[in-house]
Amino acid sequence: MGRTRKITTDDILDAAERVVTRLGAAGLSIDAVAQEAGVSKSRVVYDHKSKSALLEALIDRTLSEEFKRVKQSVEAHTHAPHPELFGRITLAEQAPDDIDRAVALAISAAMSTEEKVQRQMREWTATDLKAMSGGKHPKAALMAYLALTGFYCTELFSFHRWDAEQRTEILEGIRTIYATYPDNAQFVPQDDTPRV
C-alpha cells in the first residue's frame, strides 16, 4: 500500500502561484488551486476560507520571503556606503521570473478591492522609505531608491525587459545617483521651473 502524501499550506500556495502564472489573477479560484494541488476543494477552503483569503496568504508569504531576501542582502552589504540601498540594488541584479511577475500582477489586481493588500503594500513601502532615511546621505539614498523602484517595477510588470548587459549598466547608474547626488539638493521645483 502506498503512503498518502501530506499536503501542506505551502503546497497549496505553490499551486496558487502556478495558477496565477498560467491563468493570471482572474483565473485564481479555490477550484483551480484545488485542482492544481491535487486536493479537494474543501481542503483549500479549510486553510483559506475564500479566494481573497487565499490571495492574502500568497501575498503574505511573498512579502515575508522578500523581507528575508532584503535582510540577508543588506547584512551582506555592511561595507557599502548605504547598506539598505546597496543590498536592494544587488537583489535587482536578478531579473524577475514568471512567478514574480504573475504574483505582482495578482497583487496589483487585488489592490483595487482589498484594503488589507493596500495596507500591506503601504507598510512595505514605508519600511523601505524608512530604511533609505538612515545613513550619511538620505536624500541621495531616496533618489537612488526611487530610480531602482521604477526600474524594477518596469520589468516586474513586463513593460520592458533589459538584457544582462543593460541591467548591469542601469544598476551602476543607480549607484552613481547615490554617489553624486548633492546633499543640499531641493525636492521642490525652483521658481523658474514651469508648474503644471
Domain CATH number, residue 150: 1.10.357.10
What pLDDT, on a 0 to 100 scale, did the predictor assign at position 1?
45
Does some domain include residue 194?
no
What is the model's pTM?
0.81
Q: What total of structural domains would you count in the chain?
A: 1
Does some domain include residue 195?
no
| SS3 category, 160 | coil
Q: Supply the DSSP symbol for 162.
A: -
Task: Using the predicted structure, report yes or no on whether residue 35 has a pLDDT greater than 80.
Answer: yes
State the DSSP H helix or E strand holding residue 60, giving kind and residue range, or none if neither. helix 51-75
Model confidence at 188, pLDDT cuts 50, 70, 90, reads: low
Does some domain include residue 58?
yes
State the DSSP H helix or E strand holding residue 22, giving kind and residue range, or none if neither. helix 9-23
Does some domain include residue 123?
yes
Grid cell for residue 110: 487585488
Does some domain include residue 142?
yes
Q: What is the mean pLDDT of residues 105-125?
A: 84
Neighbouring C-beta atoms of residue 77, cutoff 10 Å:
18
What pLDDT, on a 0 to 100 scale, did the predictor assign at position 31?
93
| SS3 category, 176 | helix
Task: Using the predicted structure, report yes or no on whether residue 193 has a pLDDT greater than 70.
Answer: no
Does some domain include residue 52?
yes
Top pLDDT among 153 and 120 is at: 153
Top pLDDT among 159 and 196 is at: 159
Q: Which residue has the cell 539598505?
A: 84
Range of the domain at 101: 9-180
